[in-house]
Amino acid sequence: MHWQSASATEQELNQLADQLRSESCKPYVIPIGASNALGSLGYVHAMQELKEQMREQHLNIDHIVFASCSGGTQAGMVLGAKLINFQGKILGIDIAPVGQFGNVYEAHLMKLSNEAAKMLAVKKQFAPQDFLVNYDYLGKGYAIVGDLEREAIHLLAEKEGILLDPVYTGRAFGGLLDLIQSKQFSKNETVLFWHTGGTPALFAQVENICAK
Ligand SMILES: Cc1ncc(COP(=O)(O)O)c(C=O)c1O
């Protein structure tokens, strides 16, 4: 579910939290995708881990590509990148068809990164243009498996034994393959595809994925 299309759910969550507060309870509201400043700190930490791995393996990474949806992942990565002085580009492939107009999603990412920076007491300030998002691979909508996802899942399973999921990583990896084919990266560049998980969702869509 996308962060914006989920606003009705968020509203319900907040109403329930208000009700619980009026009953002297202390609810903690976790937004959709856990995409608040606190949630994004996981990927700030993950970038520090990446820095270590790059050092150990003498890797230089020019691009990181991954699935972006409710924003915590990308907001954390971009803040983490600033903190470790990562020089490559960070490209989120958007997964759900809302937010691609008028920098709405980028403004949301900016807010998350700025709040997370404040939480960490680091003086980093972000603008919407600090976030690269590709909206070209939305297909027929959220969680609807098409040829792009199906072929990406099959390819990586067959060649590398790595399982992608049908909703997020399958779409993002399919998008990456298309970007490579359309020569968006040069031959001497290193691209990291960041597998963000989700594999159990494969089993919910077995029929769609196996229908070749
Ligand atoms: C497997 C997987 N990858 C990527 C994402 C996108 O992350 P975010 O919602 O933080 O943008 C999600 C979100 O639910 C996910 O489940």
Q: What does the pLDDT look like over 30-43, one tens digit per residue?
A: 988 999 999 999 99
Instruction: Quote the distance between the C-alpha of residue 11 and its chain's center.
Output: 23
On the question of pLDDT at 4 being above 60, the answer is: no
CA of 50 to the centre of ligand 1 (A): 18
**Cβ-proximal residues to 211 (8 Å cutoff; 6+ apart), any chain:** 150
For residue 45, the number of C-alpha atoms closer than 13 Å in the C-beta half-sphere is: 6
Greatest alpha-carbon span in the chain: 61
Buried b or exposed e, range 105-116, using 16+ CB within 10 angstroms: bbebbbbbbbbb
Domains and CATH numbers, the chain: 40-210 (3.40.50.1100)
CA of 24 to the centre of ligand 1 (A): 33
Structure tokens of 183? 């020569």
> Is the CB of residue 70 below 6 angstroms from any atom belonging to ligand 1?
yes
Q: What does the pLDDT look like over 65-103, one tens digit per residue?
A: 999 999 999 999 999 999 999 999 999 999 998 766 778
